Every structure is written in C-alpha cells, then in structure tokens.
Structure 1
C-alpha cells in the first residue's frame, strides 16, 4: 500500500465492515463508520512510520479492490514468532471473484518471509461467511475466544490459526 492508496483502502474497509457485519454488529456502530475519517487516521499512521505492519492491496488496473494488513501478533508478548492477520477486506462487488484468495496468498507469503511460525486472526463467531473463507484458506479455531464490545453489545470473537506456508 502506498499513501496514494489510503483513501481507496479506507473506502474498502468501511464498506466491507458495513456489508460483512450487517445483522451481526449493531447497525448504529456500522452507520457511524466514516471512510474519510478512517483515511485521515491511516494517513497519520502511515506518515508516522507504520508500526511494523504490512499493508497489502489488491488492484484491478489502478483500482483498489481489496486490502489486508498483517504484523506481529498483538496477544502474548512472549510469542514473538507468531504473526497476525489484522484485517482482510474485499470490495463487496468483488467477493467470490478471487480477490480475497489472492490477498490471502500474499498475506501467507509475507508472513513466511517475516519468519512467523504461525499466523493468527480474530473473527466474529457469527460471521459464517468469514469462517468459511478462513477455513478454506487453512485456518482453524485454536480454542481461544474473547468478547469485544460494539456500541455496548458484547460479541464473541474466535481466534483462528494456521502455519503461514
């Protein structure tokens, strides 16, 4: 991802959230998401150096169609060999056309290049489409879960893991 991609990445992320989590995450939370504000935060983060995160984009010509971010696992600090897929989103009109699979292949390759021995992610337990996608990509639940709050509503997240190769 370049700085010039950030506006498009923010739009993909926000629209991805609003589509993927409709009926799961409170609508008030989804309605409050703003691609412009998200882009401004990302530009500040990008300009500050990016904090060891790889941001990968999928494109069709000059058009950004998907985005993924990965880096060191944010959980147990003693697990320095674990990586984490922080996010992967595809423009809703591109779902089912190979963009997500291509991004996931790039994520796994980059995780291997970075020397991560495992790759983890968090997924909402009620997001059946994402669960299927991750399982087809070789991820499996590892028995760890957590509760995240969205506009005061507790939602269960499952941790999935795989080898990066």
Structure 2
C-alpha cells in the first residue's frame, strides 16, 4: 500500500531534513541549467539556508510546511508576505519556494505543496500569488505554468548572466 503525501507545519526538528532537501534540489536544478556543482555548492550557502529556514519556521508571518510520505520528509515549502512592497501586492502572498527530493520529482509532491499554498492564500483572504523562478529551471517553469501561473514581465538578476522571472497567479481558489 502506498502512503499518501501529507503536509504538516514544519518545526525546528525538521530543519536538517529541509536544508538537505533544499540543497539537493537546488544542486539538481542549477546543474540542469548549466551551472557546475562547484558554482552551486558553497558552505556559506548551506549556512544561509539553515538561517533562512530557521527564521521562516519561527516567524509568525510565514508558513513552512513539510510534505511527508510515511515517516519520510520528502518536500518543503515556504510562504508568506511579499518580499517586495509594490502597490499592487497588498492582497498577495508569496510562495518563496517549493523543494522536493529530486528522486521524487514527478510524483505529485510538489502539487500537494502547491495546493497547500493555495489554501494559505484562501485562509488569509489573499487573492494573488507571487513567485520568482530561475529562468533556466525549465522544470519549475513548466510546473507553475501547469498550475496557472503567468509571467508578470518583471525579473531580477540571477547567477551566470541569467534572470529570476516574476510570476503571478490570480484569482486564487483552493483546490481542496
């Protein structure tokens, strides 16, 4: 029998699992986008990830979720207020990141975490979703496009002369 994917709020006890998943997923998508492992793996990055996830887990304004299969943490997502204060984002929530263990990509775990983000928007009475996606992460761009996200025309600099693209999702409705 296959265990269902279950989401739950992350705690600091999940921190090392989350950082490991983030590190492995980040390495996989950056390498798929043409960066070398040396360009992606830096001890200071892992420490910054640990600090960022700790802050998000402890923040009253952010929500961090783990996706589990049985006892295994196989994915994580972080969401909360927009990272920018553009005038049209007052009714928006931002999906900061979704990461799934690379060996589990394509098994619906990301979609379960995405649905949890939609629930977050509905629960907090927000009608617009925001996210940034690395332009060379074609797998993620296809995932978000399938889920109704559209580029808003904005971007910011990324690694190796690339860009992070700004995507929006509106209007938002829960899938559950």
Post-superposition Cα deviations, 1:118-150, rounded to whole Å, max 9, x if no partner, equal 0010111121111110011111111212223x3
Cα distance in structure 2, aligned partners of 1:161 and 1:31:
30
Question: Where does structure 1 differ by over 4 angstroms across 4 or more consecutive aligned residues?
Answer: 33-36
CA RMSD after TM alignment: 2.2
The within-5 A match list for 1:17-32 is: 17-24=26-33, 26-27=35-36, 28-32=38-42
Choose the corresponding residue for 2:55, options 45, 64, 81. Answer: 45
8 A Cα contact 1:24 1:127, kept in partner = yes
Gaps of 5+ in 1: none
Correspondence for 1:112: 122
Shift of 1:101: 0.7
Q: Which runs of 5+ in 2 are unaligned?
A: 1-9
1:61 corresponds in structure 2 to 70
2:19 touches 2:53 (CA, 8 Å); kept in 1? no
TM-score normalised by the chain length of structure 1: 0.86
Query: So what's the TM-score if we normalise by structure 2?
Result: 0.81
- Corresponding position: 1:96 with 2:106: yes
Alignment of 1:68-147 (within 5 A): 68-78=77-87, 79-147=89-157
Q: How many residues align?
A: 161
Instruction: Note if contact 1:53-1:69 (Cα within 8 Å) is conserved in structure 2.
Output: yes
- Residue 15 in structure 1 maps to residue 24 in structure 2: yes
